[in-house]
Structure formats: C-alpha cells, structure tokens
Amino acid sequence: MATQAVSSKTPAALGFRMPAEWEEQEAVWLSWPHNRATWPGLFRGIPAAFATYVAAISPFQKVRINCAMALQPLARQFCEKAGADMTVVEFYDHLTNDTWCRDHGPIFVKHRQTGEVAVTDWMHNAWGNKYPPYDLDNEIPPAIARSLKLRRFEKSMVLEGGSIDVNGQGLLLSTEQCLLNKNRNPELSRKEIERALKDYLGVRRILWLGEGIEGDDTDGHIDDISRFFRPDGVITCVESNRRSPNHQILAANLERLQGFTTMRGRPLEIVELPMPKPLQIKGQAVPASYANFLVINGAVLVPTFQQPRRDAKACGIIGGCFPGREIVPVDCAEIIWGLGTLHCLSQQQPA
C-alpha cells in the first residue's frame, strides 16, 4: 500500500479519478456528533438518531467513525442500542469540531489502472467562515490518510464534498452560488476553479446549476438539489407550489439540466423528485430534501421527514433510479435541525 505523502503531480495527471457513488465501496466515513451548537436546544436526541443511521449502514458495509477517544465508549453504547452490527463499526481517535464529514472529510480518488485509492485534501472554512472554529475539521483528511496509509494530494482551495457530484465518467455537477461564492475562493476565477476540479478529481466537464434551496446555510450545495444516479441520468428536485421560494430556483436548475449532455453529446435522462412539505424548526426554515440520499453497496439510504405520503413517494422514485438496491428510509426529522441529513453526514471510501 502506498505511504501517506504529498505529491507535486496532480491526481488526474497520475491516472486518478473520483468514482461515482454507486461504484463499489470499502466503507462509509462519519464524524460522531458532539457539538451542541449544531442543534441548538435539540441536541439531546441527536446521538441516538445518528446511531440509527450507523445501524442502517452496517448490514451493507463498514462504518468508520471519527470520534475522540473520550467519546467512544458512549458512542459504542448508542450504536449497540440502535442495533448496529458492531463487527463492521470502527472508531478512529480523530478529533473534530463538527459532524459534517461530507464537507470536512477527504474526497477519495481511485487510480484508473491499478485501483489504488488516495485522498484529496482540500481546505475547509466552515461554509464561508460561518461556524468557527474549524481547525480540527481541517485535519481530518490528513488524519484519515495517515490511519489508512493512503497517498494524499493537498490542494489549497476551499471545497466541500457536498458541493459536487460526479458520474464517474467525466462529468461533475455543482452550483454557481456555492463554488463561485466570494466567501470560499475570492481570488480564483471560474476557469481556475474548473481547472482545479479537473486536475484533482479527474473530471473533464463541469455542469453548473444556479442556486440551492431555502434554508441551506452551505450556499447551495448540489447534494440537496440534483444528483447523478447513473452516468447519463440525473435525479433533480422540483417544487410544484408556485408560492414557495424553491419553485423558481428549482425550475431554473431543471431548465439548465435539460440543456446538458454526456461526454458523448447525448442528452441526460432527468428524473424529477418532489420536495418534502416545507419544514420549520423554531421558526427557521430548514433545507429538508430527499436528494440528500446516500448510495452504498446494495442499498440507498433515503432521508425521510415524518411525511408518510411524500416520504413513500420519494422512496419509490429513488428506488426506480437504483434497481437492484434496497431502499432504506432513515428518519431525519431531528437531524435536519443541524441543516443537513444523510449525505451531508457521510463520505464514501471507494473499494
């Protein structure tokens, strides 16, 4: 196995690419929740809800959890009580500021020929310096690279895993609202940001959508609105209620998607995914979205919001996009108060 090191050559030049989420995985990485400020006034139920998520992943593959040693005994108790298969749950003494592993964790890449898995290590600034401190979160990619003895490629550009989605065959989806936001990389142009994504993730074309949904403090992460479900297919959120602020935003994104093509010039197949009923907690709009699902080996975990008819419809639509995979609903009515759900909490490690 390659040793942990920083290389001067870009991953793409060396033959690496970011695999699509539906490709075979070694594990899912999570970061144990401990920051009460993430769920102000409602933290009490979060560890149990998080453990339920661990239990939902564990029948299918390994779960690797960043968790300070002092918190591990209690975390284990929660996971055991939730019914997780503890033979596949691994804890790592990696300290974090927060729980959103999609954004502070490494973005893994895989070599096209040899199959070597490596870590790309981008800068994390807590979504435009909204939630300092984030120094511990920034150390998670090198810590994981050291623990797994993986090669590490460091890039001094702010990038969150939730702001991108790839099809594994050259295309990357993102939003202008997030990646071009001046609170991320004010010194970089669109062209320079595209170049970095191509060099470090092995993609060849960036598909830009516009804005994200109401209540999203990440400035428009793609994993709340549009996701690839196969190389030539995208599932995208729509809002039928014309009075909703999301109606026009999502309609504009759908219109852009209808103009995009694959690398071979073929139109994308687009599947529309209705939004849940708008959710407010303590008077604040939260970014509840069924698009924040997680694809793992043999299953898709779908966030639900205690809206039986809408939850069931969303699970049916997502199930139709992933034939042969079990659809596992996970109640996120509490977790969403942290302004994210299943995909935001996780980062997949390719096999």
| DSSP classification of residue 39 | S
Q: Which two tokens stand for residue 56?
A: 């939902």
| Burial of 188 from C-beta contacts in 10 A (0-12 / 13-18 / 19+) | middle
From CA 235, how far away is CA 254, in angstroms rounded?
10
**For residue 342, what pLDDT is reported?**
98
Calculate the dihedral angle through the C-alpha atoms of 161, 151, 90, 134, rounding to the nearest 10 degrees. Answer: -50
Q: Does 344 participate in catalysis according to the annotation? A: yes
Which one-letter DSSP state was computed for residue 2?
Answer: P
Q: What is the pLDDT of residue 199?
A: 97
Length of the chain measured in residues: 351
pLDDT of residue 2: 44
pTM beyond cutoff 0.85: yes
Q: Which domains are seen in the chain, by residue range?
A: 11-350 (3.75.10.10)
Taking only the tens place, the pLDDT of each residue in 132-147 is: 999 999 999 999 999 9
Phi then psi dihedrals of residue 76, to 5 deg:
-60, -45
Residue from 67, 178, 321, 344 carrying the catalytic annotation:
344
**Tens of pLDDT, residues 287-339:** 999 999 999 999 999 999 999 999 999 999 999 999 999 999 999 999 999 99
- Range 26-34 average pLDDT: 98
28 beta partners: 63, 348
pLDDT-derived band at 84, boundaries 50, 70, 90: very high
